[in-house]
Amino acid sequence: MSLLPQRKKSAEELANLRESLGIPGESPGEEKLPAPSAPAAAIPEPFPLLPAKPPKPVRSLRKSEFVPAPAPAPAARPADSKLPSYRRSDEEIQELRRQDAIDATVVLPQTQIAHPALIVPGYLAASAGAVSFHFYQLDIRITAACVVVALLFAIFIFFRKTYSRHHAAFIAMMALFVIVFGTLHYFPQLRHGT
């Protein structure tokens, strides 16, 4: 159901509605009388007029009309502020960028990834240490040498090739297992702990 009226109300209906709501209004037969005029001196001025502001200068983008804007006075800044105290020119900005480009040492990710020729020997040395004592029952010195070589590869990869540290961790864990199980193999009296 729509709340909008279906037809326009007549003047009599509007007057009846006003009376029922208690709103003073004119009845349909009455004429409107003009309001009594007050003396001109009694009407207060609404607001005093403000002086007109001069128009704001517009900066033109044409080179012929270009006038450099006056430099603002430097604002007081704390001594530890990293903001410059004045605006730098384009030449100064370009010079600063050149210096930053020269000073910045760019480290490419490709130089931080270990080559497979460095990773594979580490895994092979740790595996050879495990195989040497378990399957071939070789001397402890061979197993120890394989573990030392695997740990050297792991240390080198960890400190020099940062994007391949996971390989260094795997090689070190394999070497740790070889050390633990090799110790138990070569020293059987440790198996039953005293």
The 10s digit of each residue's pLDDT in 10-59 is 888 888 888 888 887 665 555 555 555 555 555 566 666 667 777 776 66
DSSP string, 4-63: S-SSPPPHHHHHHHHHHHT-----TTPPPPPPPPPPGGGSPPSSPPPPPPPPPPPPP-SS
* 142 — pLDDT class (breaks 50, 70, 90): very high
For the chain, domain boundaries: 113-190
pTM over 0.75: no
